[in-house]
Amino acid sequence: MANSSAGRTAENKAKAPAPTWHELARPTAQKRAGWERGNNCTRWVACGVSWDAVSIAPMETGLAALVAMRAGTRRGYPVLADHLRDVLYVLVATSSGSACADVPGVRVLSEGHQLLMPSTEFDGTAVADWVSSPREQPPALVAADRLAAHLWELTRPRHERAATS
């Protein structure tokens, strides 16, 4: 009997809907407790080598772009949050981040820049928190051109969006 209920529990977990980007970005009580203890490790990682980072402020705009792109949260796209500065960092292919360069609220970190990252998927701080950690090597990266298109749509003034709809 115990085995059958355990099987149903595993089956229910397998069918659970994927968390949303907004849910993943919300700091949990467990993460906050870790940050307060100060035991988590971070490191500076050079941008422009394996990936570029697209810095998006406010964070909500970046999360909305990922939702609009229908980028799956279980895919393992590397996405980081700086909760103190309200910035989302989305990793894209090297030299492709320039597609996002002129979008309001966006900064591209490429060669010559560094990004503060958690040392492991379980580490992190309020300024370097994995929203989604890479699940494979090399990591699955968000398509910069698609990200840019959705960011442009989200940052265009409301009256311009209404005129073209």
How many whole angstroms separate alpha carbon 38 and alpha carbon 50?
Answer: 29
Q: At what angle do helices 59-69 and 144-155 cross, to 10 degrees?
A: 120
Q: What is the pLDDT of residues 80-134, one digit of tens each?
A: 999 999 999 999 999 999 999 999 999 999 999 999 999 988 889 999 999 999 9
Structure tokens at 75: 């895919």
Q: What is the pLDDT of residues 19-70, one digit of tens each?
A: 999 999 999 998 898 888 888 899 999 999 999 999 999 999 999 999 999 9
**Spans of all domains in the chain:** 41-156
Q: What is the pLDDT of residues 10-20, one digit of tens each?
A: 555 567 888 99
